[in-house]
Structure formats: C-alpha cells, structure tokens
Amino acid sequence: MNETKTLRLNADAAGIAQAVDIWQHGGLVALPTETVYGLAADARDDTAVARIYEAKGRPSFNPLIVHVPDMAAAMTYCDFNDDARMLAQAFWPGALTLVLPIKPDAGVSKLVTAGLSTLAIRVPDHALARDALTAFGGPIAAPSANPSGRISPTTADHVMAGLEGRIDAVIDGGACPVGVESTIVSCVGEPVLLRAGGVPAEALAACLGRPLLQSDDPNTPQSPGQLASHYAPVGAVRLNATDVREGETLLGFGNVAADLNLSKSGDLVEAAARLFDCLHQLDQMGAARIAVSPIPNTGLGAAINDRLQRAAAPRD
Ligand code: TXA
Ligand code: MG
C-alpha cells in the first residue's frame, strides 16, 4: 500500500473535528478508549472498513466491533433480549462488548460482520471517544489499533510503532486506563463468554444471577478472533515461571526480583493496565525469551492470563 503521513491529533475539540473530517472521507483514525486504542473508520463505508483490514494485515474472516455513543444508538443496529438489556444497563458505558442479532436495515458494511448475522457492539467509557462518536453521529468500526497478531496498543506511541505510515491519524489521548480489551459476551441465546476482558466474568454473572456459558475452545466458530497465537511479543513466552532460566527476561507479578513487574503489590487492576506496555517494552529491550510469574486467575487475572496464554501459544 502507499505510504501515508500519519498525523498526531490533539485530544481536544479541534482534534475531534479533524478526525470526523477524515472519517467522513473514508479514512482511518486511531483513537483511545478506556480499554485499548481502536483503529476507527465509518462502519457503513465498505472501502474504509477494507482499509482497516489492509492496515492491520487482518484475516478477513475476523469481524470488527462497532462503537456507538449510547444505548439508544446501539438499539438502532441490534436486537436486545432481556439479558442483553440488563448487561448493557449495568455495564455501559464500559469494557463490555455484546454480540447480538443485527437488524436487517442496520446499514453496516458486510465487511464489519465478516458475513455473520450478528454484530459486536459497545459503548466505550472514555470522554474523548464518546465525544468523537457523538460528533461523528454514525457507527464506528474499530478493532484494536495494532498489526494483526501483535500486542494491542495502550498509548499513541504504541499505535505509531505498529501502524505509522499505514493510517491517516491517531488522536493522542494518553494511556488507556483499563489496558486490556473489552469482555465479549454473545447474547444471541443464552449468554456465552467469548473473550475475557475488562469487565470480570464474576461481575457479569452477579448481574445476570447465573454464571455465563464458557466458550473455551479456541477453534469455536462463535469467536473467530480468538486465534490461539495472538497478542504476541517477539520473544518466546514461558508462563507460570517460579524461577528464571539462563537467557530469560522475567516479567514479574508481586514481590519478586524481576526485569519488569506488572504490579509489585500484586494488584490485578494495575497489572492489566500495564500488561501491553510491558510486552511492548520487552520487544524494545530485545528480550528473546520471556518468563512470566504466575498470576491469579480471578477478576481481571482471567483476562490477563487469556492474553498471556495466546502470547505463549505455539506460532506458525
Ligand atoms: O476493547 C476492545 O474491545 C477494543 C476497543 C478498540 O474497543 N477492540 C477490540 O477489537 O479488541 P478487536 O477487533 O481486536 O477484537 C474484536 C473481537 C475479535 O476477536 C472478533 O472475532 C470478535 O471481537 N467479534 C467481532 N464480531 C463478532 C461477532 N459477530 N461474533 C463473535 N465475535 C465477534
Ligand atoms: Mg485485537
């Protein structure tokens, strides 16, 4: 593809106006959300959505999340059952993506859904993202703003490191407070957890009054994005490391002597917020072999371990 000059836009009204102008002309603008930076384009514009896939080098079978400013907008694109309504009311705006039946007249590009009859949709809890969505006034498709299969970006610098020259602009809104992607729940029938993320599964279960069904099988067609090897730093990853072997760099958790530490105090919220930045730093340090301390699998630990297991999965 042709090399594009990637603008760095300010996180203010002028920056939002420039982003809206680029979206209206079919361009790509990366923007911060509370989870990670998204690579955003007009979800109704086939060419713009195709550019997202091209810029990311993403396999075309992997559908995208649509972002809207509020519940009312979401209801114009999707059918909500009672569970979906309850979850949306409890967790939107926030790090929860719902997979719902798409309305026939939604007007969203088929490239967004990759041909499925469902749409993944969420209302982000980030003032700048919300203002930009409101100013644009249409559905915005946005996967994480990283080359496919690489670490998700939580700063504008991460976006630039992966996609500079391939996208029109990035709005620099600082670091993303949550730091892992949204939790994805299918509410087509009985709620199914498709991806652990920023909203812990325990909180969803408490809201619904019953546990969610699990979709653990990485090959399940219900969550096409859940490829086994994903979120990968350059170095090989060894999990649950209680020792450090010759040539390894330790990514620690808790009170351990480590090259980098996700959270010295063992705080899972802090660890989630730092996870992708630490993986980016390990790339920059040239770490060839990465050992990672054990991380408890409760709360946000489930999302952290999910991402780390993908980073450690055998690669083709
Ligand atoms: O926090 C997030 O969710 C970020 C920010 C930018 O919102 N976005 C994000 O998007 O992580 P992405 O494209 O990296 O991951 C979206 C996931 C993929 O695994 C994809 O397969 C799944 O959502 N997905 C999208 N549409 C789906 C659908 N209709 N049914 C099942 N899974 C779907
Ligand atoms: Mg992603």
* Number of other residues whose CB lies within 10 A of the CB of residue 310: 18
Which of 214, 249, 284 delimits the end of a domain?
A: 214
Query: Both 200 and 248 in a single domain?
Result: no
pLDDT of residue 216: 65
**Mean pLDDT, range 60-68, rounded to an integer:** 86
Kindly state the average pLDDT of the residues 152-171: 97
In a domain? residue 222: no
Say yes or no: 197 and 240 in one domain: no
Are 152 and 282 part of one and the same domain? no
Residues 79 and 204 in one domain: yes
Q: Are residues 59 and 132 in the same domain?
A: yes
Pocket of ligand 1 (CB under 6 A): 33, 35-36, 38, 62-65, 97, 99, 113, 116, 118-120, 142-144, 181-182, 184, 194, 222-226
Count structural domains, the chain: 2
pLDDT in tens, 212-266: 998 864 444 444 455 555 567 889 999 999 999 999 999 999 999 999 999 999 9
Claim to verify: residue 201 and residue 249 sit in the same structural domain: no
- Please indicate, yes or no, whether residues 260 and 166 belong to a single structural domain of this protein: no
Nearest atom within ligand 1 for CA of residue 195: 19
Whether residue 13 is found in the same domain as residue 88: yes
Nearest ligand to the C-alpha atom of residue 59: 1
> Ligand 1, atom 3: nearest CA belongs to which residue?
182
Q: What is the pLDDT of residues 168-177, one digit of tens each?
A: 999 999 999 9
Q: What CATH number has the domain bearing residue 121? A: 3.90.870.10
The whole-number pLDDT of residue 218 equals 47
- Are residues 48 and 188 part of one domain? yes
Residue 228 lies in a domain: no
94 and 29 share a domain? yes
134-162: average pLDDT: 95
pLDDT at 306: 85
* Res 191 pLDDT > 50: yes
Give the Å distance between the CA of 223 and the centre of ligand 2: 12
Same domain assignment for residues 209 and 254: no
Average pLDDT, the chain: 91
pLDDT in tens, 66-124: 999 999 999 999 999 999 999 999 999 999 999 999 999 999 998 888 778 899 999 99
Greater pLDDT, 159 or 3: 159
**Whole-model pTM above 0.90?**
no
Binding residue numbers: 35, 58, 62, 67, 118, 122, 142, 144, 152, 182, 195, 231
Q: Which residues pair with 195 in a beta bridge?
A: 184
Task: Decide if 225 is inside a domain.
Answer: no
Predicted confidence (pLDDT) per residue in 294-314, tens digit? 999 988 888 889 889 888 887
Percent with pLDDT over 70 in the chain:
93
Q: Is residue 227 in some structural domain?
A: no
SS3 for the chain is CCCCCCEEEECCHHHHHHHHHHHHCCCCEEECCCCCCEEEEECCCHHHHHHHHHHHCCCCCCCCEEECCCHHHHHHHECCCHHHHHHHHHHCCCCEEEEEEECCCCCCCHHHHCCCCEEEEECCCCHHHHHHHHHHCCCEECCECCCCCCCCCCCHHHHHHHHCCCCCEEEECCCCCCCCCCEEEECCCCCEEEECCCCCHHHHHHHHCCCCEECCCCCCCCCCCCCCCCCCCCCEEECCCCCCCCCEEEEECCCCCCCEECCCCCCHHHHHHHHHHHHHHHHHHCCCEEEECCCCCCCCHHHHHHHHHHHHCCCC
Is 1 within a domain?
no
Closest CA to 244 of 287, 310, 283, 292: 292
Which residue range is the domain that position 268 belongs to? 236-312
Query: Which carries the bigger pLDDT value, residue 222 or residue 277?
Result: 277
Q: Name the percent of the chain lying above pLDDT 90.
A: 72
Place of tokens 């593809």: 1
Residues 33 and 83 in one domain: yes
**Number of residues that make up the chain:** 316
Residue 73 C-alpha to ligand 1 middle, in angstroms? 18
Lowest mean pLDDT among 143-147, 224-228, 282-286: 224-228
Q: Are 81 and 75 in contact (CB under 8 A)?
A: no
**How large is the average pLDDT for residues 265-281?**
88
